[in-house]
Structures are given as structure tokens and as C-alpha cells.
Amino acid sequence: MNRPVTNPRSTLHALIPFGVGTADVESLLSYFCRLAVSHGVSTLILSRTIAQHFGHSIAANFDWHERQIAGIRESALTWSAALSALTSVQNLDNLTFLPWRDVISQNGLSIFKRGQFCSHCFAEDVACERQPYFRLAWESTEVTCCPVHRKPLSCDCPSCGKNNVRHTAAVVVPGWCTHCGGFLGDTTKSKNLEEVEPASIWRARQIGELLASQDNLAVRPNRSQFIGAITQIVSKAHGGMAAPFSRRIGIAKSTVHHWLKEGGTPSLEISLKIAAHYGVSLKQLFTGELPQWQPPVLNEQLAFELLSSNQTPRNAPRTIDWTSIEEKLVAFLSLPTPISVLEAARRLDMEARQLYLRANKTTRQLGERWKNYLKRKQEAKVVAAWPYLEHACLEIWGEGKTVTRREIFKRVPKEILSPVPNLLNVLKDVQEHLQQSEPMAKRELVA
Ligand SMILES: [Zn+2]
Ligand SMILES: [Zn+2]
């Protein structure tokens, strides 16, 4: 009560969360770990500070990573509110699954406790000069792969091979092994060679879509919309009969009755099954947005295969919304780091050829932008190496020798030389340039 109200400065650093509004949104657990690093304290000390701020006393064996702070339970609410209060950064509950609290049953979100991650995402963070961070999607056990890199998530350190090394420690620097300190994004050492099943990618994408939307939901998803959607499905697909619906999903009829009449909501796992079997997205199901929905032609076999076999769903003809594809391509054009057409195709789950065929202009623009980007990147490497090369050439000439690769490698550090493409051509340019700028001096030296 006696705090000075005129001082709006936050107690803790106001770190900006990563990836808000995208499927790659940061998890609150990651935010918490970064905050501890930012203040140079252990996670235990930071968790004590937070608890004290809220007047909670903390047990001696208090273990913050048992709290599931990015889930849908009370602890997620307490921690996100506390962190928002102390950092002055609003809406930190969007770094948790809380926005879906009314449509996922209390015990219906299982959290992956040993800390899974995608090495390629960490590697990309570093390549983009961003601090590596844990994605909220990785917290759910329903997400077993990275839909961007199409690799299974892992919880083993690529350097020391130990398990559960992502965040269970007193000092956690997201992206580095808590056991050996090795970089968890070291993709050269990562043993994850197995291909992921299309069904896992589908599940990861559905959850990604939820997380991407949770920052700008007009209305918080609520149970009545969700149950409305299930009622609509049961009525349109099965004439209102719960029995065939429950058979398809593989649950008891009484459970369906319970949701529809008395209350209660399915687990995330069951909701994903409903979405897959009835051809709606998880987000549509949760938000009750099914205005145009028509039941798919019911083929038990097909729906079953989608969830449990290795067959790619690509075999089925697919209607493509080219207006939306075009919009996405245009959005790719303004990404800060350009992407290749192949990468764009991968993100849209299409073939590059199709993009060239049906969205030609934008696709070519993407291709052009990528080429220029590569060129600029290479030029930048040459520009960085240029002064070293000039200096080395003059020195070699000074010793009366000819400029050769070997002589250059003796004088210029490898880190400078190895990224330079076509080193011999560049060396020719350097020497020509030197001769033109100071022809007399150089000729004397050469002679
Ligand atoms: Zn990834
Ligand atoms: Zn390690």
C-alpha cells in the first residue's frame, strides 16, 4: 500500500516475448528462464521472488518446473499474472494454453515434462541472431514433431546424449544443455533422422494454428460455442445420434452425453480426434466456427488411416484455396529474412512446381528476392575479407613472391577466408584493384 504510485518502473526487466501471434509463440517457462538469465539469478531465486511478491511462502523442496506454468491450470494463471505484474509486460497468459481453458478439460492437456525441443528451431534462432527460446507448442505431449522442419522433437542433448536437459536446473539458458553446456541446436550432431508421420505434422499444425490465433481472439473460446459445434457435427453427420459419433471417436456414449447435457469438456487429444474424423480444424471446433460445414463422406477406413498409418494424405485430391495461397506468398515477400521458393512451398505444404504454375508472378518475385539475398550475403563476405586480402597481397608482393592460395592462407585467418566464394577470382580482383590504384609502387615491388 505504501509503494510510490508515481513510479511506473517495473521490478523485473520488461523482456519482449518472442513469436507472439505466430505458431512459434514462446512458452511462459522459456520467458521465465530468460528473465532469470537477464537478471543474473538462478531460476530458484526468481521463483522465490515471484512467490514472495504474491505473499506465498515457499516450501523448502519447492520445484518450479513441476508447476506446469505454461499449461491451463491455476499455476499458469498465477505465474503469468505475477510475471505480467512484475515486468509490466501485458498479456503474458498468451504464453500459456490458458486462452483455451474453457474448451479443454482440467486434466485434458498433458504437458511434456522432460522438455522437448527442435534442434533446427534453435539453430534458426541463432542464425537469425535471436536468443534461442522454447516454443509453447513443445509443452504439449500432442506435439511430437516440428511442423516447420518436419523433424521429431527431442529431449536428448546432441552433445552429451543426456535426457531432460532443457530446463530442469537452477541455471537455465534456453538453447543450451543444462548438463554439459552444449548447444541443443547443434544439428550436425543431432541423431534425429527418422521421418515424421503426416498425422503428427497435422496435429502439430492444428495446435500451431490455435497458438497463432490466441493473441487476437475476438472472444475467448468458451464451452458453449464448442459444445454447439459438437452438437452440430452429431446432428449433421449422424442425425443427432450420439452412438455412431462415440464409436467413431472411440469413447463411451455416456461420455458424449455428459458433454452435451451436463457439462465437462473433452481432452485435447479427443478434440484432435474429432477434428480429424469430421474434417474441421481444431480451431474451428473450439471456437464453434462451422457455418459452412458439411459432413465429409463417412469412410471409416480413411479417417482411421489419417490418424494411424504412414500413408501420406496427399493421395487424396485436395481443393486448394489459391486466393489464400497468394496472400501467404505475398506475406512471405515481406519477411525480414527472405525465403526460397522451395521453403515457401514447404511451409504451404505444396510443391514448388504448383506455385510456379498457379501463382507465377509472386513465386518468381520470391525466387528473385532469394537470389538477390544470397548474392548480397556472398558480397558481404567478400567485402569483409577484402581489406585482409589487400594487406596480404601487398605483404606477399613485398617479399617478392607471387600471390597464391597457399601464401594467402598463411596470412589470413581461416574464418575470414572460408566463407569467400571463388577465392581465386576474388584474389585476381584484389590484385587488379591494387595495381590500378597504385600502379608504380606495385610494379616496383613485383619487379
Ligand atoms: Zn523446428
Ligand atoms: Zn549435454
pLDDT at position 297 is 63
Can you give the three-state secondary structure of 337-384, one letter per residue? CCCCHHHHHHHCCCCHHHHHHHCHHHHHHHHHHHHHHHHHHHHHHHHH
Query: How far is Cα of residue 294 from the mean position of the Cα atoms in its chain?
Result: 32
Sign of the CA dihedral with 272 first, then 275, 276, and 277 last = positive
What's the CA-to-centroid distance between 237 and ligand 1, angstroms? 37
Render pLDDT for 75-104 as a digit per residue (tens, 0 to 9): 888 888 888 888 888 889 999 999 999 999
Give me the chain's average pLDDT, please: 84
What are the residue ranges spanned by the domains of the chain? 10-213, 222-307, 372-446
Render pLDDT for 26-83 as a digit per residue (tens, 0 to 9): 999 999 999 999 999 999 888 888 877 766 655 556 677 777 889 999 888 888 888 8
Res 438 pLDDT > 70: no
pTM above 0.75, yes or no: no
Number of residues assigned to the chain: 447
What's the CA-to-centroid distance between 103 and ligand 1, angstroms? 27
Is 36 within 8 Å of 178 (Cβ atoms)? no
Place domain 222-307 in its CATH homologous superfamily: lambda repressor-like DNA-binding domains (1.10.260.40)
Give 176's strand partners.
Answer: 183
Q: Find the ligand nearest to 134 CA.
A: 1
Is 352 within 8 Å of 345 (Cβ atoms)? yes
What's the CA-to-centroid distance between 80 and ligand 2, angstroms? 29
In b/e form, how buried is each residue of 204-243, taking b as 16+ CB within 10 angstroms?
Answer: bbbbbebbbbbbeeeeebebebbbebbebbbeebbeeebe
Three-state secondary structure call for residue 135:
strand
Render pLDDT for 168-211 as a digit per residue (tens, 0 to 9): 888 899 999 999 999 999 988 766 667 788 899 999 999 999 99
What's the CA-to-centroid distance between 149 and ligand 1, angstroms? 5
What's the CA-to-centroid distance between 172 and ligand 2, angstroms? 13
What's the CA-to-centroid distance between 133 and ligand 1, angstroms? 11
What's the CA-to-centroid distance between 183 and ligand 2, angstroms? 8
- Beta-carbon neighbours within 5 Å of ion ligand 2: 157, 159-160, 177, 179-180, 182
